Structure 1
Amino acid sequence: MSEHKFKIVECPRDAMQGLHNFIPTDLKAEYLNLLLQVGFDTLDFGSFVSPRAIPQLADTAEVLGKLDLSTTNTKLLAIIANLKGVKLAVNHEAISYLGFPFSISETFQQRNTNSSIEQSLATVEEMLSLCAKHNKTAVVYLSMGFGNPYGDEWNYEIVEKWADVLVDKGVEILSLADTVGISTLEKINEILPKLLSKFSHSEIGIHLHSTPAERFEKIEAAYNSGVKRIDSALKGFGGCPMAADDLTGNIATEDVINFLNSKGENLNLNMAKWNEAMVLSGKIFR
C-alpha cells in the first residue's frame, strides 16, 4: 500500500482527437459526464488548439459548458500548444490544469507545435505566469521522453537536463511521455527511478503508449519505479498517429485499475459508472 494516493489521469481527449468522424458535442459531453462520476483524479477532457490541427476537439469550450461538475472531485485538464491556447483555457474557471507537450526532440516539437524547443520554453514561462494569475496548475509533458523516430539525439542525460530546466522555471508536474510507443522495460526501469529520486519535490507522472501485449508489464514497471501518476484511456483507445504500429495506443485504464487493485491500492472508483462509460464508448469509438 502506498502512502500517497495513486492518481489515474483518464484521457478521453487523447482517445478521441484522432477520430475522423466528428463526435457530436452532446455525445462527447454525455461520455465525459459519465467518466467524471467514476472518481478519477483528473480528466484530460479537451484541448484549445487550432481546429485545423485537431478538428475533433474544436468544440471543447462548448463541451465544457455541458459538463456537470457539481458531484465530482475529478479535476479537468486541457491541452494547449501555444500562447493563444493558454489565453483561451485560463479563462475557464472549471479547468484546473493546463497541459503542454514539451518535446525533447527538436523535430517533433516543430511538427507538433510548429515551434522550436527554445520557443516552447518561452511558451511554458508565459503559461506558468498566466496559470499563477488564474489559479491554474501547469502540467508539462516531456514528449518523446523515451526516444524518437527521427534520429534526434536521445539519452537519459537529455531527459534530465530538460526536466531540470522546467522545474527551475517553476513546473510542479512533469509527465514523461512515450509519444510513439518505443519505451521498453529497460528504459522505464532506468529513467523513472532516477527522475523520481532527483525531483522528489515535484510530481512526476507517466504517459505511456503501448501495444496490448506489452501494456501490463509496462504498467508494472512504472508502478515498481515508484511513480504515483499514470495517464491512460478507456480500452486503450487513441495514441499518437505517428506510431509505427497500428496496435500502439494508450495504456488501457481497465488494465491500470486491475493492476492497482491487485496491489491493494485504494482507488475508490464507482465501477458501475465505469461500466456505463465502457458501454457508451461503443457509440464513440466505432
Structure 2
Amino acid sequence: MKLIECPRDAMQGLDHFVPTDLKIQYLNTLLQVGFDTLDFGSFVSPKVIPQMRDTAEVLAGLDLTVTRTKLLAIVANRRGAEQAVAYPQIQYIGFPLSVSETFQQRNTNRTIAQAFIEVADMQQLCVESGKQLVVYLSMGFGNPYGDPYSSAIVSDFTEKLLQLRIGIIAPSDTIGSSTPEAIETLFQLLIQTFPSVEFGAHLHARPGEARVKVRAAVRAGVNRIDGALRGFGGCPMAADALTGNLPTEEIIQTLLDEEIALAINQSALQKALMVSSAVF
C-alpha cells in the first residue's frame, strides 16, 4: 500500500500564511514517517494560491538525504509543469483534470478539451525530464453543478489518459460526496478494465466517514491512498466546512486493522502530529 501524505492540500486553503521555516520543519518531520510520496507544494500563480508562493524556498530547505519518500508538486498548466520539472528533487508532477466542465474552468481556467491538450504537453515534458505525471480526476464521484457524471464517463477519461501513456490516475472526491458503495464500484470497474494503470484514491470525508471509505477502496483493490494529518484541507469550494482530507492517522489505523503491512515510523508520526498543531 502506497500512502501519499498531502500537506500542500491541507495548507493551501488556510487564511493565515504558514511561515516558510515552519513549513520546512513540518515537511522534514513528515519525510521521516515513511510515506511513499509527499505532496509538498505547487507551482501555480501566487494570486490564486498565495499559501504556496514559497514552494521553491521550501524545497531548498528539505532534507532528502535519509528518506525514501518521493516528492510530488501540483501544477495547473504547462507553465507550472515547466517550473516543476526543472527541480531534480521532484519525482512526480500532479495535475487536476476535472470530469466536470464547470469545475475545470473554475479550477484551471481551461475547458476539458484544452486541459487534455495540456496533459499531453505535460506528459511529454515529464518523459523528457524523467518525471512521472499523476493525473487527478477531480469531481470523480459527482459534482454539484449539474454537469453529466457516471462511472462510464470516468472510464472514458481514463481510456484517453491511457492513450497518452499516463500511468497513475487518481479519481478524486473533490466535495466529499462519495459513498463507500460508489468508491468500491468505481475502483473495481477501473482496476478490472485498466489493469496496467496505478489507481489512487484521493477522497474527502466528514468526521467519522474516513474509515469506511478506506475499507471500500481496499476491497476494490486500491493500493494508493492520499491523506493529510488530522484531516485538514479539502476543496476550498466545498460547501461543507467539515469536509476535509482523509485523516492520515485514521487511514493508517484502518489499514493496520485490515492487516496490511505498513513501513511507518510511529514515533516520527507522533512528532509530525505535534508539529501540525503549530502549522494549523
Residue 189 of structure 1, CA deviation: 2.1
Any idea what the Cα deviations from partners look like across 1:210-266, whole Å, max 9, x if unmatched?
A: 001211111111111110000000000000112121110000000110011112222
* Residue 115 of structure 1, aligned match among 98, 101, 110: 110
> Residues 1-286 of structure 1 correspond to what in structure 2 (within 5 A)?
6-285=1-280
Counterpart residue identity of residue 277, structure 1: A
* 1:25 positional shift: 0.4
**Counterpart Cα distance in 1 of 2:206 and 2:4:** 19
Task: Look up the SS of the partner of 1:107 in the other structure.
Answer: helix
Deviation readout 1:44-103 (Å, 9 max, x if unpaired):
000000000000000000100000000001000000000110000000000000000000
Q: Report % sequence identity.
A: 54
Deviation of 1:186 (Å): 2.1
Counterpart-to-counterpart distance in 2, 1:28 and 1:208: 24
Report the number of matched residues: 280
Letter in 2 for 1:85: G
| C-alpha RMSD over aligned residues | 0.7
What SS is found at the alignment partner of 1:206? Answer: coil
How far apart are the structure 1 equivalents of 2:117 and 2:207? 37
Q: Which amino acid aligns with 1:173?
A: I
SS of equivalent to 1:212: coil
4+ residue stretches of structure 1 with deviation over 6 A? none
Report the 3-state secondary structure (helix = DSSP H, G, I; strand = E; otherwise coil) of the residue aligned with 1:207.
coil
Distance 2:185 2:18 in 1: 40
How many Å apart are 1:184 and its aligned residue?
1.1
Structure 2 portions without partners, runs of 5+? none
Unaligned runs of 5+ in 1: 1-5
**TM-score normalised according to structure 2 size:** 0.99
- Supply the distance in 2 between the matched residues of 1:146 and 1:37 (Cα, whole angstroms): 33
Distance in 2 of aligned mates of 1:266 and 1:69: 24
Structure 2: how far apart are the matches of 1:34 and 1:245? 30
Query: CA–CA distance in 2 between the matches of 1:140 and 1:117?
Result: 13
**d(CA) in 2 for partners of 1:176, 1:153:** 16
Q: 2: distance between equivalents of 1:188 and 1:39?
A: 26
